[in-house]
Structure 1
Amino acid sequence: MSSVRPEYPRPHFDRSHAWLTLNGDWDFTVDPSGTANPRDLAARAQWPQTITVPFAWETEASGVAANWLEYGWYRRTLTVPADWHGLRVVLHFGAVHHQARVWVGDVEVGGHEGGYTPFEFDITDALAGRTEATVLVRVWAPVDKREIVHGKQRSIPRDDYDDCAFTPTSGIWQPVWLEARPATYVSGLALTPGENLDAIVADISVAGPDAARARLTVQATGGDPVTTVAGADGRVRVTLPVTEPRLWSPADPYLYGVTVTLDSGDGTDQVRSATGLRRIETRGDHLLLNGERLYVRGVLDQGYWPHSGMTAPDDRGFVTDLELARESGFNLVRKHLKLEDPRFLHHADRMGMLVWAEPASTGTFTPEAAARFEAQIAPMVARDGNHPSVVIWGLYNEEWGLDWDVPGDPAKQDAVRRAYDLLKSLDATRPVVDNSGWTHVATDLVDWHIYDETPAGWAAKVRSLLAERTTGFPVGLGGGSIVHKLLMSDGGPTPAVPNLNSEYGGGKTSVERGWNQRWQTQELRRHDVLSGYVWTELYDIEHEFAGVYAFDRTLKDSGVSPASAAHADTVLVVDAQPLAPGRDLVTGPDRKAAFDVRISHHGPAPERIAVAAVWGPVLGSAEGLVPAAGPAAVTVEPYRLSEPVHICEGLPDGAPAARLHLLAVRACDGQVIGGTCVDVAVR
């Protein structure tokens, strides 16, 4: 088996008892004019290059590192295992950007358009009884990507959002593999929790010549097998009762395995999957997970790696990013403008990380571009719908691919509404965001994106949206241009649905970004009506230095303002307007820092919490510092900002500046469960 991404690539639809990876070295050649002849290429003795699949041809990991190449060809020999005799042989591609045509031997077996969705070809007839054949793949990846789905990939000519776009990802960028199955086989398996979270509902599709007579045995972890027969249309729904159900949540990410065994005149097929018993829903302006309030503490994750682009260098890469998000206090990852490799969601499921999933965008609006965007929706649900970690579906982002003009164009409003309606028709179990961050048309969540590095400006914009319920907000588009964005396309009030800030951040240096993360997040926690937020972002990418971590996933200097403190269950909210990093407040002649602090607690039950203060050096850590005993405790209700606690502390003798650490101490056991800090200087 290849040592390049050797793990089974499709755990949500697992037929790993009969598979063979095709990752690794393939022959490769460029085709500048796009006119090469497949018959000639297949027969050519020597090819000029070798490429490592599944890494895009722009990347160092591919061994090619070719930028702005539009046409490339891949070739390799495949050998079918002898024990697959009598079975159908299927060639799978996880994703190829943007358009692929595939030959086996001298037979063209099919083509596919769309750089983020999987596809497959039954190549049995093309093999014609042979166990060895040449596979040839032609890929077209246009440099002008504006009318195709490409997310954050750079385009020539440029997109409107080119300033935050990255190196393109062209060619095969997700795994390639073979599978064997009978002529009559399980073609689809969709798993959803039962209405009362005490059963798993399996919607199964069967294809092949004996589909109408196929016998199915379906079994979930710990349950009895259920036997049934496929309907005339090859579809069947099976309900699998679960005794003593164990609900999936970030605190207990328990997964139920589901196995489908099909018996027909063509033989036996088996597919395994897994899901969790959990319900995500909205109720008024609250998000609920399993009936309990959910506050999203999210982080943007764009799915790029230093030497391998949009492809994780190895399976551990997905786990590392999820671990870093959790260690930083986040409970959700917004996988931005990218249908990520299914292995990522597999790990999110088992690790208990929530996911906001969304497809890639186009760069401009035309009927063809809108159709290509919508073409991703059904494959997204079919591929990723079994994952309990996915709790929010996104669609458009900031009117990208809509020419930044939803309110002014009914055709674009229709495109947004059409995408929303399609997604809800395919999956009504999750909330859907129609156009993240800017003007909404039809949505289950109202979210907005604000970037403002001035504390006063940030606080005013947040207050305007959450306390004053304004119907729009200013957005900077670069070059000093500011436009007023409506929250709803009709200019009216927002519906009674949960409200989220789904992008924020700011700062030129990592210390400034740590400072903004601390103060801006506090400001969001001041408003109880909010259902959560998404910080921009988990790690740097190429020229974009907005991450908690660097591109190589090393922790950046935050001025000792750790993300884990900003995004904790319990956060202290300071009633002050900070001046600058290292100089939040300036004292008067009395050298005293005086202000109020409030407590935002998102635990499951009320807590008696005291706020203790202790001095340390500016930009220093609270580690090892012991607060003075005796502060009075207040009772803090979950998701309700506490009454103010007044702080008045004099600077240490002789110190021109110091950091005042504020610690939330649980009264019952003295444990520190949250905190913040204020850097104080003499005027």
Structure 2
Amino acid sequence: MQKSATRSILTASLLAVGFNTPAFCQTSPQANTTLLVDIDHRPSTSLNGDWRTIVDQYSTGIYTLHQELRKDGFFMNAPFDPSGHPQDYNFANAATLRVPGDWNTQRPELLYYEGPIWYEKDFQHTAVSNKHTFLHIGAANYRTFVWVNTKKICEHEGGFTPFDCDITAALHDGSNFVVLSVDSTRIAEGVPTLQTDWWNYGGLTRDVSLVEVPDQFIDDYDLHLSRTDRSVIEGYVHVEGAPAGTPVTVTIPELHAKIESTVDANSRAAISIPTKSLSLWSPEDPKLYKVEISSGPDKIEDTIGFRTIETRGTQILLNGKPVFLRGISIHAEAPYRTGRAYTQKDVDTLLGWAKELGCNYVRLAHYPHDERMTRTADRLGLMVWSEIPDYWALQFDNQAVLAKSRQQLSEMIRRDRDKASIVLWSVANETPNTEARTKYLTAMVDLAHQLDPTRLVTAALLVRTEKTASGSNKIVDDPLGKALDVIGTNEYIGWYEQHAEGADTTTWDIRYDKPLIMSEWGGDAKAGNHAASGDTHPALWTEEYQAEIYRHQIAMLNKIPQLRGTSPWILMDFRSARRVNPGLQDNFNRKGLISDQGVRKQAFFILQKAYKDKTLGRAE
């Protein structure tokens, strides 16, 4: 079922076609939502499973034929009465979709569908005094509207970050129901915008649950190792609704460490914990500590690793020592079944392949991945580059779009600030070098530093090329580099420019005295597509040609003095609507070192050897 060219009414401004925007579309992208950290360590009631669903391409569930806001919309979940008033929907007889999961890969007719789909779920609830009940949604792409028992609760924009809606006032004892409209329509003023190189998977793509918390509850905290004194763990705990003087306790049993503090007028308690014999988190020893945080009746137990990450000149320092990031880029694409990755099995497979490759680092592109990815990276000792989808040509002169980017960055950092594995926050990928873009993204870098001064901030930049007598020179002078801690650059010598041997005569001119990560490089090959035996010039799309790209790239990269990491594109083939070459692409980006069915291509073993023998890159 192909979405028509008309933009969905739920997400597009009706002003463009002469109608007034309904009240529920006039609010902010995250109206009436909050974000509870450490949801995976809180008691919860899962709402995962089968949800009744209705495909609503024309937004019939919201509007009459005259584009008036309906009072009897699908959100009312009215029982169908064949003898009563005519009704255009009936959730009781509707088909189901599995949650979590994208709708595109669950039904063949929805593979290309972009637009709104309604979700409905019944659940039982028993009211508890002095408690708040939140509906937690791990991710829903792209814009979501939530009703509980016919009452509009909240809305959220952004397809890859979690949100929580306080539904306490709408609940009653016994049977309840929740109705959501999830709209995957790509919009010009969205983040990301209209063009991406990944599949626009729609739906409730991550866990959905009910979470109960006390009236005063721990909603945010940050505990990290001090950069100036590595025997001190510092940070804060925020207790929502707590008056000044409310006590907070933080305990790390294994370290025999316990600190008591009180919240200030902003409900935030400063934390400083002196420790002895602290084992620092690293890829070689990914040590995690059980941390208990309590305030009144609320208590959270987290597992946290402690380490420092910083730069010195062109070096990246982990725990004060130079490190080279041997990495790979990864999309949140499910191995074997395809679709959006969301299960622990998906995560174990993807990160297991990265470990097999010899990686100590992964770039999670081009949006925040499921929290299982960062939790598992913590346990496996994989450093992480985490990114928001400020991707390609956003509306960089639009303040409303900037607000959406700020929202997504804030949600990403707030959710994952307790993950030792994350060493880099990325604010963008392959954006055009314009004054408006630089101003926009500099503001994003500043916000990242403000929200989390303990980590490094990067972005994947495009580079300029100048012809030389012997070949070409790559110049890294994007003005955004001034704001970044670490420079990321993407290049595709051997694929989008030159032949594989072009890397041999390419030099690099880095105009910043900062560490450089080659954040993307590589080329396409369809698994099993081989050159003729003995062919010294293998054709494009063959495994042999992709392998040639990797051989020449590794030799070139080793000549860049300030190179401190690489994350070639990409671990596994993934779906992309841009990739339509029949028989070769078939709606897949084929730059993976592994096929979507787990077949390792020749280039996999070339990079694996370079990483395991440590013949690619140096830390100093």
- Determine which of 406, 413, 416 is the counterpart of 1:381: 413
Q: 1:77 to 1:370 in 2, by over 3 A?
A: same
Deviation at 1:320, TM superposition (A): 1.5
Residue 110 of structure 2 corresponds to residue 65 of structure 1: yes
Report SS of the residue matched to 1:88: strand
Deviation at 1:66, TM superposition (A): 4.9
Which residue is 1:214 aligned to?
246
TM norm structure 2 = 0.77
Deviation at 1:601, TM superposition (A): 8.1
Deviation at 1:55, TM superposition (A): 0.8
Which residue is 2:487 aligned to?
446
Q: 1:526 to 1:495 in 2, by over 3 A?
A: closer
Q: 1:241 to 1:311 in 2, by over 3 A?
A: farther
Q: Give the distance between the partners of 1:215 and 1:40, measured in 2 at CA.
A: 43
* Contact kept in structure 1, 2:55 and 2:117, CA below 8 Å: yes
TM norm structure 1 = 0.71
Which residue is 1:514 aligned to?
547
Q: Deviations over 1:300-346 (max 9, x none)?
A: 10111257655325212112111111111222111111110111100
Please give the residue correspondences for 1:308-327 in structure 2 after superposition, counting only pairs within 5 Å. Answer: 311-312=340-341, 314-327=343-356
Q: Give the distance between the partners of 2:452 and 2:344, measured in 1 at CA.
A: 28
Using the aligned pairs only, state the percent identity.
Answer: 26
Q: Give the distance between the partners of 1:17 and 1:533, measured in 2 at CA.
A: 36
Which residue is 1:182 aligned to?
214
Q: 1:378 to 1:11 in 2, by over 3 A?
A: closer
- Determine which of 512, 517, 520 is the counterpart of 1:500: 517
Which residue is 1:436 aligned to?
461
Residue 568 of structure 2 corresponds to residue 532 of structure 1: no
Q: Give the distance between the partners of 2:237 and 2:317, measured in 1 at CA.
A: 29
- Determine which of 250, 253, 257 is the counterpart of 2:286: 253
- Determine which of 259, 270, 282 is the counterpart of 1:226: 259
Report SS of the residue matched to 1:26: strand
Report SS of the residue matched to 1:316: helix
- Determine which of 426, 436, 440 is the counterpart of 1:411: 436
Q: Give the distance between the partners of 1:78 and 1:69, measured in 2 at CA.
A: 28
Q: Give the distance between the partners of 2:335 and 2:155, measured in 1 at CA.
A: 30
Deviation at 1:382, TM superposition (A): 0.7
Which residue is 2:394 aligned to?
364
Q: Give the distance between the partners of 1:55 and 1:428, measured in 2 at CA.
A: 35
Q: Deviations over 1:539-571 (max 9, x none)?
A: 11132111111112232344x944321223432
Greater mean alpha carbon deviation, residues 62-71 or residues 18-27: 62-71
Deviation at 1:40, TM superposition (A): 4.3
* Contact kept in structure 1, 2:514 and 2:562, CA below 8 Å: no
- Determine which of 135, 142, 150 is the counterpart of 2:178: 135
Q: Deviations over 1:160-211 (max 9, x none)?
A: xx5xx23311121111001111111111111221232223223111112x44
* Contact kept in structure 1, 2:76 and 2:149, CA below 8 Å: no
Which residue is 1:622 aligned to?
none
Q: Give the distance between the partners of 1:30 and 1:567, measured in 2 at CA.
A: 47
Q: Please list every run of 5 or more consecutive structure 2 residues that lacks an aligned counterpart in the other structure.
A: 1-34, 62-72, 81-89, 464-477, 525-540, 576-587
RMSD: 2.5
Q: Give the distance between the partners of 1:51 and 1:63, measured in 2 at CA.
A: 12
Which residue is 2:533 aligned to?
none
Report SS of the residue matched to 1:272: strand
Q: Give the distance between the partners of 1:601 and 1:141, measured in 2 at CA.
A: 41
Q: Give the distance between the partners of 2:129 and 2:337, measured in 1 at CA.
A: 37
Report SS of the residue matched to 1:512: helix
Deviation at 1:499, TM superposition (A): 2.0
Which residue is 2:446 aligned to?
421
Q: 1:190 to 1:601 in 2, by over 3 A?
A: closer
Which residue is 1:555 aligned to?
600
Q: Give the distance between the partners of 2:59 and 2:258, measured in 1 at CA.
A: 53
- Determine which of 30, 33, 36 is the counterpart of 2:55: 30
The amino acid that maps onto 2:454 is T
- Give aligned pairs, total: 512
Deviation at 1:437, TM superposition (A): 3.8
Deviation at 1:25, TM superposition (A): 0.4
Q: Give the distance between the partners of 1:313 and 1:198, measured in 2 at CA.
A: 37
The structure that has the greater radius of gyration is 1
Which residue is 2:101 aligned to?
55
* Contact kept in structure 2, 1:103 and 1:110, CA below 8 Å: yes
Residue 166 of structure 2 corresponds to residue 122 of structure 1: yes
The amino acid that maps onto 1:58 is N
Q: Give the distance between the partners of 1:175 and 1:369, measured in 2 at CA.
A: 27
Report SS of the residue matched to 2:612: coil
Report SS of the residue matched to 2:341: coil
Q: Please list every run of 5 or more consecutive structure 1 residues that lacks an aligned counterpart in the other structure.
A: 1-9, 472-493, 572-599, 603-637, 640-683
Q: Give the distance between the partners of 2:336 and 2:216, measured in 1 at CA.
A: 42
